[in-house]
Structure 1
Amino acid sequence: MTDEPLAADGGRTGIDRSVPNSARIWNYWLGGQDYYEVDRVAGDAYREMFPGIELLARASRGFLVRSVRYLAEEAGIRQFLDIGTGLPTADNTHQVAQRAAPESRVVYVDNDPLVLAHARALLTSTPEGATDYVDADLRNPDTILAEAARTLDLDRPVGVILSGTLGHIPDYGEARSIVRRLMDALPSGSHLSLNDGADTQPAANEAQERYNASGAVPYVLRPVEWIAGFFDGLELVEPGLVPCPRWRPDREPSGDPAEEVNFGAVGRKP
């Protein structure tokens, strides 16, 4: 487990270790080291209720990697806006994109000081490309776009990444509005890569309800058709909205029911 992390300027970040944090718990489930005891306890409690959570976490990460690879290799995207970045792990957005196209430019957005401290320390660009880090809340898409414009040319297509983030916006109308405002500001040919948790498994639903009652920032599991609503006005790339392991898989999904909780898709703005 991590000690209190250093901020980018070498000072302390003032991280709150009294309540669980979704980015740190996700890091714990993925086998990382950047979490505290409160996160381990919450993560273990969730796993007791829903033993497939680590499989789900890996499935979500795998979708992110494959969708970014698709955007860079097949859709020709060279600019990426990754909102709700989470803690760095293997195959972060800029690493996947810049392997395919070293000139890719990536802006990471989060409002968690631990995430930003680690991102600035670890997520370094290729010489040909660029990375930047924006401290902003998902609820403020205008601020995100204004800050991202320092690094990205918003008159050219952008790949927007929302990986497991919109569940933190409890109001569905507000969540849809955020997506719409982001995509409306970008030109034709921009893409949205989005995956989020669905309310398809009773065990996962109960585990999430208990987690939400812990004092941590809540995360809402939604009906699959509501997740589909985030892509209104976009052209879905084949195979459409599916469980994350079934989106252009590198290998055959295992068939574990946990794979049916996180759903993902990529949509293109016409």
Structure 2
Amino acid sequence: MPDNEAPEIDTSVPHSARIWDYWLGGKENYPVDREAGDAVLQVLPSIATSAKQDRAFLGRAVRFLVKEGIRQFLDLGTGLPTVDNTHEVAQRVAPESRIVYVDNDPLVLLHARALLQSSEQGSCDYVQADIRDTATVLEEAAKSLDFDRPVALMLLGVLNHILDDDEALRIVAGVLERLVPGSYLVISHTCDATTDELDGEAMRQAVRTVMERGGTPIRARSPEEIERLFAGTELLEPGVVSCSRWRPDPSPWTEPEVPHFCGVAVVRAR
């Protein structure tokens, strides 16, 4: 899409990024998105809290990575810009941080170019590509990132749109093989776990509701299936857990579980 050509916006069907924006309290959504979002809330009232907890996890994870010395971030599946995006959190602590956002949705990239501004010391770039095309993703990202140095690969709320397990594993492995030891992998993912606090069938019904309304297909996975996405890396404590329970302050058990799980792993020497 040429830079001066605005993408056509189809407001007749819900859009996953706009639904997520609605749950986060954003303004980049339309009646069809709010209707779909409300329909999901009817069967899974915790989903809006889940969206907010996913965003809070992003902040904690990025601050942790910056503390560990990471200054480069490759964020796949950007979604619509909202508060405390990856580059904002990272550059608030380390202004020299470099971030590349990737999304295949021209609407998302249009908003990203307009709203996501980098610090002067660092950089914030955007690539329009499908994350399935890892060769293109890496080629374009290499224009801004130095892959001879550690990079944090961020996959937040995007692999749940890859329905095939083998394809999801291939995407992660395809990028990881380019990352040097000391890099990190961060994943958050819709989860259909059934626990004392979570109703797995409610999540499955929520997924069906979105898909029946024409929204982006979603695949909720179990915690064990999500953990398999970290193959070839070393998961850090506390492992794959609810986003609300990944190293929160002050106690790991003060927040209820939400149906969005996550984990952070380090890439060791192969």
Shorter chain as denominator, the TM-score bin is over 0.9
Contact (CA 8 Å) 2:154, 2:185: kept in 1 or not?
A: yes
CA-to-partner distance for each residue in 1:39-73, whole Å, 9 max, x for gaps? 11100111111111111101111111111111111
Contact (CA 8 Å) 1:8, 1:120: kept in 2 or not?
A: no
Contact (CA 8 Å) 1:233, 1:269: kept in 2 or not?
A: yes
Let me know the Cα RMSD of the aligned residues: 1.4
Secondary structure of the equivalent of 2:102? strand
- In structure 2, the residue matched to 1:113 is 106
Contact (CA 8 Å) 1:27, 1:87: kept in 2 or not?
A: yes
CA distance in 2, matches of 1:35, 1:79: 30
- In structure 2, the residue matched to 1:229 is 228
Contact (CA 8 Å) 1:240, 1:266: kept in 2 or not?
A: yes
1:125 aligns with 2:118: yes
CA-to-partner distance for each residue in 1:49-106, whole Å, 9 max, x for gaps? 1111111101111111111111111x21010000001111111000111111110000
- In structure 2, the residue matched to 1:29 is 23
1:155 aligns with 2:148: yes
- In structure 1, the residue matched to 2:181 is 188
Contact (CA 8 Å) 1:78, 1:104: kept in 2 or not?
A: yes
1:97 aligns with 2:90: yes
Contact (CA 8 Å) 1:94, 1:106: kept in 2 or not?
A: yes
- In structure 1, the residue matched to 2:162 is 169
CA distance in 1, matches of 2:209, 2:48: 17
- In structure 2, the residue matched to 1:76 is 69
TM-superposed deviation, 1:143: 0.8
* Structure 1 counterpart of 2:59, one-letter code: V
Question: Where does the alignment leave 5 or more consecutive residues of structure 2 unmatched?
Answer: 194-199
Question: Where does the alignment leave 5 or more consecutive residues of structure 1 unmatched?
Answer: 1-6
- In structure 1, the residue matched to 2:51 is 57
- In structure 1, the residue matched to 2:204 is 205
CA distance in 2, matches of 1:16, 1:113: 12
Contact (CA 8 Å) 1:110, 1:116: kept in 2 or not?
A: yes
TM-score (structure 1 length as normaliser): 0.93
Secondary structure of the equivalent of 2:181? coil
Q: How many pairs align?
A: 260
CA-to-partner distance for each residue in 1:111-150, whole Å, 9 max, x for gaps? 1122111110111111100010000011111111110001
CA distance in 2, matches of 1:213, 1:250: 38
* Structure 2 counterpart of 1:266, one-letter code: V
* Structure 1 counterpart of 2:49, one-letter code: L
CA distance in 1, matches of 2:6, 2:178: 36
* Structure 1 counterpart of 2:29, one-letter code: Y
- In structure 1, the residue matched to 2:266 is 268
* Structure 2 counterpart of 1:225, one-letter code: E
